Amino acid sequence: MISHKSQTISPEDVQAVADVLQCDWLTTGPKVAEFERAFADFVGAKEAVAVSNGTAALHAAMFALGIEPGDEVLLPAMTFAATANSVVYQGGRPIFVDVDVESLLLNPGQVEAKLTASTKAIIAVDYAGQPCDYERLRAIADKHGVALVADACHALGGSYQQRPVGSLAQLNTFSLHPVKNMTTGEGGVITTNDAELARKMRGFRNHGIDSDSHLRESNGTWYYEMHSLGFNYRLTDFQCALGLSQLQRLPGWIARRQEIARQYDSAFLASSLLQPLSVRAGVSHAYHLYVVKLNLEKLTVDRTAVFKRLRARGINVNVHYIPVHLHPFYAKKFGVRRGLCPLAEKAYRRILSLPIHPNLSDRDVSEVSTVVLETLEEASR
Ligand SMILES: *Cc1c(COP(=O)(O)O)cnc(C)c1O
């Protein structure tokens, strides 16, 4: 059996959590600030704000940028729904942008084509773990005076032109869900060099209140003020202790993910029935996902059939993602239709994500490659 468990929990992780469970403060205590400092240092940013999940991180980013009704935010059609949802939470309008066919990353040319006077921000998604072309995206954002956000939920541990993911955009959001590159159970982080945006997001995660209860306790006061409509998006101290412990092993896990990707790449090199996504020069890919595109012209069956056959053989394949504008909610609320992002829609019919996580052995990877190739050969024209 090939392991489906993507997270790696060590005895040190367990101990770190257990230690905090014995403390006075289970939440909003010293571990939160300690984790934020370590995370910010890891990605080379001045500030990190820890929140309850990656979706909350995106929502906090949209709040801090002041997204409100009437504002448009450009984002790729090929992403998890949460990227677009974060704009809608603030009353903004997500504008779906098509992707590059080879990498499935936001196409900067298409971004320029969809900018309007109402555009307030661009959310670039580091799909599969490959950082976007931030040099070009920053130039576009600066030229038009809009904010640049990185949805880096896949890309923690990666880099672009020697700069770590987390330091590439004005705001960079991460998820610490167990399937992601490291975990706190549920969890999220936003990194930034902008102290004012960080301050806004720290308020936002705590009901829009200007001080936390521990601070009031130590100052001997009950008084506080709520300045904006925030949420309870806090992350607990024991989760932050797990995060601190996990962060130390992250570089090793990324190296292993990259090794697995190289093994898949070489196994599939000679086959014309599938093609891995392309990787740009200057990129250190974090490989949250390993995505292949099926060459449907050479197959007698569609992607769904291939998916089912692989699942039946115990290979935990998946599909990332249904283009967001095709979801009924978006069709109904914003009137977006099939045909809006043809390249993302075409790619969607062909993509398959293969298992990739540090718990896979070389034998597992070789078995997956063999079964994938066998399954496609059997279905080839
Ligand atoms: C996982 C993910 C999210 C949401 O993160 P959660 O922690 O699950 O809320 C957002 N965007 C992308 C691209 C993701 O992969």
Q: Ligand 1, from 123, 165, 177: best to mutate by most atoms within 8 Å of Cβ?
A: 177
Active site residue 180: yes
Residue 167: strand, helix, or coil: coil
pLDDT at position 77: 98
Amino acid at 342: P
Neighbour-count burial for 226-255, b at 16+ CB within 10 Å, e otherwise = eeeebbebbbbbbbbbbbbbbbeebeebbe
- Does the pTM surpass 0.85? The reply is yes
Catalytic residue among 31, 120, 180, 200: 180
pLDDT of the residue at 267:
98
- Helix, strand, coil percentages for the chain (3-state, nearest 5): 45, 15, 40
Is residue 57 a contact partner of residue 177, using CB atoms and an 8 Å limit?
no
Report pLDDT for 119.
98
Strand order of the β-sheet with 351-354 is 274-276, 290-294, 351-354
DSSP state of 128: G
Q: What pLDDT sits at residue 288?
A: 98
Compute the distance from residue 55 Cα to the ligand 1 centre, in Å: 6
Centre of ligand 1 from the C-alpha of residue 57, in Å: 9
Q: Can you read off the two tokens belonging to residue 342?
A: 């043809």
Instruction: Quote the pLDDT of residue 104.
Output: 98
In short, whether 321's Cβ falls inside 6 Å of ligand 1 is: no
Position in ligand 1 atom list of the atom nearest CA 187: 7
CA distances in angstroms from 341 to 73, 89, 107, 338, listed in the order given: 16, 23, 11, 7
pLDDT in tens, the chain (381 residues): 788 899 999 999 999 999 999 999 899 999 999 999 999 999 999 999 999 999 999 999 999 999 999 999 999 999 999 999 999 999 999 999 999 999 999 999 999 999 999 999 999 999 999 999 999 999 999 999 999 999 999 999 999 999 999 999 999 999 999 999 999 999 999 999 999 999 999 999 999 997 777 777 788 888 888 999 999 999 999 999 999 999 999 999 999 999 999 999 999 999 999 999 999 999 999 999 999 999 999 999 999 999 999 999 999 999 999 999 999 999 999 999 999 999 999 999 999 999 999 999 999 999 999 999 999 999 998
Instruction: Report the alpha-carbon distance of residue 22 to residue 29 in Å, rounded.
Output: 13
Q: How close is the Cα of 178 to the center of ligand 1, in Å?
A: 11
Q: Going by CA atoms, what residue is nearest to atom 6 of ligand 1?
A: 54
Determine the pLDDT at residue 32: 97
Tokens of 144: 């038009």
